[in-house]
Structure 1
Amino acid sequence: MSRQPAGVPLAAPPTLAETLQVWLSRIVAAYCLLFGVLYWIRLVGLHDGLTWRFDTMPVYWQAVSASLAVFFPFAAIGLWMLASWGGVVWAICAITETVMFVGFPELFGNRITAVWAHLLVAIIYIALRLVIYFQTKPKT
């Protein structure tokens, strides 16, 4: 017996693109949580090295480490809940790391792999959104 009230149409099952977008969001959320934890490890000094504790870091590392240690877990929460703001917070994190590693490699190092990963996620997300848009667009 269905619990659906009489006269109310059933929702269409999610398309493959919608399911893939949910999986992408959840996978990126897990990575965002991991990155947030890694930034917190640097801040509290559990990482080896002379400048890998907040009070011994250069000021430019202090600024971005503190910001990303907060933003990455928030992005993870938003992406996991499939909230629209989760993608926005992730984009802020991705743009911040891209500017860090591409714009200032002499200060932050050259982690081009992280930049390519952010770019790949953005391309896949945009492609899935376009597929979903064209699937749901009314045919005229």
Structure 2
Amino acid sequence: MITSFQDLIESRPPWSTVLIWYLRLIAIILIGGGVIYWARIIGIVEWRGLWFWDMPVSMQGAIVFFAVLDLVAATGLWLTVSWGTVMWIFRCLCQIVMHTAFSDLYGRRPYEISFYLLTIAIYGLLVYLMEKENRAETG
């Protein structure tokens, strides 16, 4: 029975399991994002008052790019394979560059950039804790 914070920490699953849950949560978010991008492409929803075919070519290209990349990265994250993590981090970095270096085309989104940096930092922390726990068990 959990009666204190220390009991909660001691009864948690291994960090590797927590990391898998985290990656799958990110995968679900990416699936949602990918579906929204595809809904824009096929004309179910508009974005900022514009239908896909009325958008500038630069925006159309970005939407198609992320429509594919989100679903590919989500698949890799759900399967917990290394390329999934690489695709997800690549996707985050592309969004960060898009909303900083090319903010005149795509707009500034400081909250979105902060979200991407935070999710990558949490991933790094979970990997560190998992490795630390694995070293403690083997050595």
TM-score by length of 2: 0.81
Aligned to 2:27: 29
Give the gaps of 5 or more residues in structure 1. Answer: 1-13
* Alpha-carbon distance between aligned partners in 2 of 1:110 and 1:45, rounded to the nearest angstrom: 25
Contact 1:51 1:58 in 2 (8 A): no
Contact 1:50 1:56 in 2 (8 A): no
The reply to whether residue 97 of structure 1 matches residue 104 of structure 2 is no
Higher relative contact order (CA 8 A, sep 6+): 2
Aligned to 1:52: 51
Contact 1:94 1:118 in 2 (8 A): yes
Contact 2:30 2:74 in 1 (8 A): yes
Give the gaps of 5 or more residues in structure 2. Answer: 1-11
TM-score by length of 1: 0.80
1:90-131 CA distances to partner (integer Å, 9 max, x unpaired)? 112111111111222221122222211111111011111111
* Alpha-carbon distance between aligned partners in 2 of 1:17 and 1:83, rounded to the nearest angstrom: 17
How far is 1:25 from its partner? 0.5
Q: Give the fraction of aligned pairs with identical amino acids, expressed as a percent.
A: 30
Q: What is the root-mean-square deviation in Å for CA atoms of aligned residues?
A: 1.8
* Alpha-carbon distance between aligned partners in 1 of 2:44 and 2:103, rounded to the nearest angstrom: 24
How far is 1:70 from its partner? 0.4
Read off the aligned partner of 1:72 and give its amino acid letter.
D
Q: Which runs of 4+ in 1 moved over 6 A?
A: none
How far is 1:42 from its partner? 1.8
Higher relative helix content: 2
